[in-house]
Structure 1
């Protein structure tokens, strides 16, 4: 059996190699389009805006704001205390603490851009809110939804509405009808929902019997660079709803009594079915769901959850929106529109670079450390969840339906691969947390992030 020192050295090497690989990928993805004079977003000979920074959907705009000092202070406090608190707080205190810290971190980063840091994204005409304010008949919305997806339709949906099932639009319709439909107000609601994402993942881990992994991963789940995008993107809602669906499935898979297992499986199915009605790509959450069930062996929950999820899909179908009819129409619009101007040969690896920027390049080091960690092999449940996160990313990438903009589209995958930070060598934890915090500050202050 290898010594602890040997294991630490192996983990350290894997960490360095993983970080190096991620950084090289990012550098190449940024420099190749610049060196070639190639706008990979439009295939034009020259970029329409010299500040564009592929592979992100954003611009190079270095800036500071009134919230800069707050964001920096939070980063220092997180680096100093987050790890210690994650290990010492009671479980009852840990979950609300993650919510409060995540809320503060996301708002501080977003408000570096001033009040518009919360409002401008959701107020974009290609987003959901403007359309949601015009909806006065949900029945008509559902029955005409598919016919308005094609670009050729006279009254075609704007980009984000067309690219998703109606669940996400209905979420914003609900906000509007509750009086929460102003751009900034909706931005705060999205941020507060996203702030529960770490708690959902931590709850899943504890239910699966690996609370120690949850505590080690908590600082990295809360203070992730993805917070730059979570606080302003509707995809943060999708990520959070999906994570709570997985948590409910974990509850189903660990209940000692059949009735409790069936009940939680039904709840999980409804939540996950609703998630699929928010984004076609969330069918991939089935990979995480299977990882949960495979490691617990409670397969009874599977047919119940599938039936409940199918029930949600069928309710939408009875109202006029059948997902199996809509997806081919969307694929045609995507092929006719922007996808035709985004070369797959670049984006099949450029996407991975964008994901590394979103989740932080030192995630590569964490994945490397988890891959060689004896502790990870003992905590098989967590290792399976990390692997499921990586598989979801690869499947989404190879599908060709996510060419660019994955810094927001793949937000639902970020927390599952972030669990790899639980397995970095002890000597590296503080350094990697500092790197994640600094990276988030750099992304927020150097770039104009569209999402």
Structure 2
């Protein structure tokens, strides 16, 4: 029944999206609504590799999940599958996704003084100023920009490195989540996660990997996990909603919660001393959001169409695996809060990656693994071949 409901939701979002785009062009600002991209069936050099990897995971994945070296094998396969999906659109598109005028790398050359950048970061968030940050930089705390500045400073600048870095870090979720939940049965489903379409390459793929590692570390070393999640707060404002998952990882041990909080506060304090106060940035980013297409996109459509996009991100197995599991509930609470906030209207297929991937935890208990893995692969391949996504 849940698959039928999800299918109807996706169909409704597509049909109504087409009708709205025909009658009121530009209001949704998503030609392939509920996904951000264009309807453009295509194949590319990554097509054969993506299909081959998918077949191998479907046939051998459940067996390899029990292998001694299951985690490194899964990580390497995840990187390969994500890159092959990206190559369906071509290398040229892959290496330029983070270099456009709206993206992070556009601002990297202008950051010549990091302390000065941090101390003036907030005041450059609002639009319609001579020195306003570009769209993605203004929409995120300074940690995201700092990441790409750091890569550039160590000689790893440019779009190719940035995109590859997002894939390599994003794929760490395939390793971190099974360790956090102590169940390798979820591995093949994480490898064929349809959300991999947007990991290669968007900065949200990077956020996905860092967040997953942070949650895992909370289960072992709370202070270190807290510090990583503290850094997440400065990658994306929305990652404050990792709190429900963090509480699941920590359990009811108040001592562990205290140590984790100390790790978070250490990072928050370091940024505050450097001149950037998170709450100031958050208030200004809400202003910037409604200065742009966030004000145009209608809440009445996206509040439910976002969930249709989510269904495509987690795939049929993710939907079928939804159950009363503490990890699934934690991710669900985060997603619901993000959706109702009105600050996540469209593009949630990438923005919600750090939460959506945890909904796959329930797939570990599915029967007929090959059937469900096939459904996941078909979903990822269909989306990437039918829609020319913006990421």
| Both structures adopt the same fold (TM-score exceeding 0.5) | yes
1:65-84 correspondence runs (5 A): 65-84=44-63
Q: Deviations over 1:28-48 (max 9, x none)?
A: 01101323456788428xx8x
For the Cα contact (< 8 Å) 2:180–2:219, is it kept in 1? yes
For the Cα contact (< 8 Å) 2:195–2:353, is it kept in 1? yes
Q: Deviations over 1:183-231 (max 9, x none)?
A: 112211211111211101111122xxxxxxx222111111111111112
1:8-157 correspondence runs (5 A): 17-37=1-21, 42-43=26-27, 52-86=31-65, 88-90=66-68, 93-157=69-133
1:33-432 correspondence runs (5 A): 33-37=17-21, 42-43=26-27, 52-86=31-65, 88-90=66-68, 93-206=69-182, 214-251=183-220, 264-294=221-251, 297-367=252-322, 370-371=323-324, 383-424=325-366, 426-427=367-368, 429-432=369-372
Measured on the aligned residues, the alpha-carbon RMSD in Å equals: 1.6
For structure 1, which runs of at least 5 residues remain unmatched after alignment? 1-16, 207-213, 252-263, 372-382
Q: Which residue of 2 aligns with 1:438?
A: 378
Q: Deviations over 1:256-279 (max 9, x none)?
A: xxxxxxxx2211111110000111
- Runs of 4+ aligned residues of structure 1 deviating over 3 Å after TM superposition are 36-42
Secondary structure, aligned partner of 1:340: coil
Give the Å deviation of 1:168: 0.4
Distance 1:324 1:39, change over 3 A: farther
Aligned length, in residue pairs = 391
For the Cα contact (< 8 Å) 1:33–1:39, is it kept in 2? no
Q: Deviations over 1:297-338 (max 9, x none)?
A: 322111121122112111111111101111111111112221
For the Cα contact (< 8 Å) 2:317–2:363, is it kept in 1? no
Give the Å deviation of 1:96: 0.6
Matches of 1:388 and 1:227, distance apart in 2: 21
Matches of 2:83 and 2:21, distance apart in 1: 36
Matches of 2:128 and 2:302, distance apart in 1: 26
Secondary structure, aligned partner of 1:59: strand
For the Cα contact (< 8 Å) 2:199–2:205, is it kept in 1? yes
Secondary structure, aligned partner of 2:136: helix
For the Cα contact (< 8 Å) 2:208–2:354, is it kept in 1? yes
Secondary structure, aligned partner of 1:418: helix
Give the Å deviation of 1:395: 0.8
Q: Deviations over 1:400-425 (max 9, x none)?
A: 1111110110010122101111122x
Q: Which residue of 2 aligns with 1:11?
A: none
For the Cα contact (< 8 Å) 1:128–1:172, is it kept in 2? yes
Distance 1:415 1:189, change over 3 A: same
Distance 1:113 1:203, change over 3 A: same
Secondary structure, aligned partner of 2:295: helix
Q: Which residue of 2 aligns with 1:13?
A: none
Matches of 2:219 and 2:283, distance apart in 1: 32
Between 148-157 and 99-108, report the one with greater CA deviation.
148-157
Secondary structure, aligned partner of 1:89: coil
Distance 1:325 1:41, change over 3 A: farther
For the Cα contact (< 8 Å) 1:288–1:389, is it kept in 2? yes
Secondary structure, aligned partner of 1:164: coil
Distance 1:317 1:39, change over 3 A: farther
